[in-house]
Chains A and B, each alone.
Chain A
Amino acid sequence: DAKTTQPPSMDCAEGRAANLPCNHSTISGNEYVYWYRQIHSQGPQYIIHGLKNNETNEMASLIITEDRKSSTLILPHATLRDTAVYYCIAHAQGGSEKLVFGKGTKLTVNP
């Protein structure tokens, strides 16, 4: 899997959009971008994934650049409960199922 780079921490005001960046400049054509988050004392939670098109679900939106070298996870209206560590992972489906979790971004949503 390609290496990903994320800022170690970010802050966001409650009710505002949280935009979490991820660089994956060595991503392969068959690798998807997955986002997970881990709220304190809980198991990691799947958020969203995409290959090259932008994706949206009930939790978040994923914007992938045209060259696929970076992406942004958007939480449109952050709440205090969105405070968590967010992990961006580049992973190819169909091969080894092994995911490698890096250090992620600690997002703190402030009131």
Chain B
Amino acid sequence: DAGVIQSPRHEVTEMGQEVTLRCKPISGHNSLFWYRQTMMRGLELLIYFNNNVPIDDSGMPEDRFSAKMPNASFSTLKIQPSEPRDSAVYFCASQGQAGAQYFGPGTRLLVL
């Protein structure tokens, strides 16, 4: 199994631009999570899906952030418009029945 796949691995953009991060979870896993990590705030859960349905989006910072999971093998996290304070590493993770979460390599986002 290739594990959780994220793209792009690095993204540099200018303030105001739209950013789309992508995630392919492990096949057969029914829960998917989006996290953000910064030095100041550590690892924070933004949103998670169960069977493609958003369950808890209380961690989404504001309306500029949106996430979708159109099918069991794909999810996106979109930031529109992006701001410098959105600069962080964004991780996607998937979870199967056993309860352990498996993380992707992350997307390093820099908003100038």
Task: Point out residues on A near B: beta carbons under 8 Å.
Answer: 32, 34, 36, 38, 42-46, 49, 91, 93, 96-103
Q: Known contacts A43-B93, A97-B55, A98-B48; is A103 also within 8 Å of B42 by CB?
A: yes
A25 vs B42: C-alpha distance when bound (angstroms)? 23
Q: Known contacts A43-B93, A44-B91; is A101 also within 8 Å of B103 by CB?
A: no
| B73 CB-CB contact with A under 8 Å | no
Chain A facing B: main interface SS: loop
Give the interface residue-count category, chain B.
20 to 34
Q: Which of B56, B99, B102, B105 contacts A49 (CB 8 A)?
A: B99
Inter-subunit contact A96/B105 (CB<8 Å): no
Chain B residues, CB < 8 A from A100: 45
Measured CB to CB, the nearest residue on chain A to B33 is A97
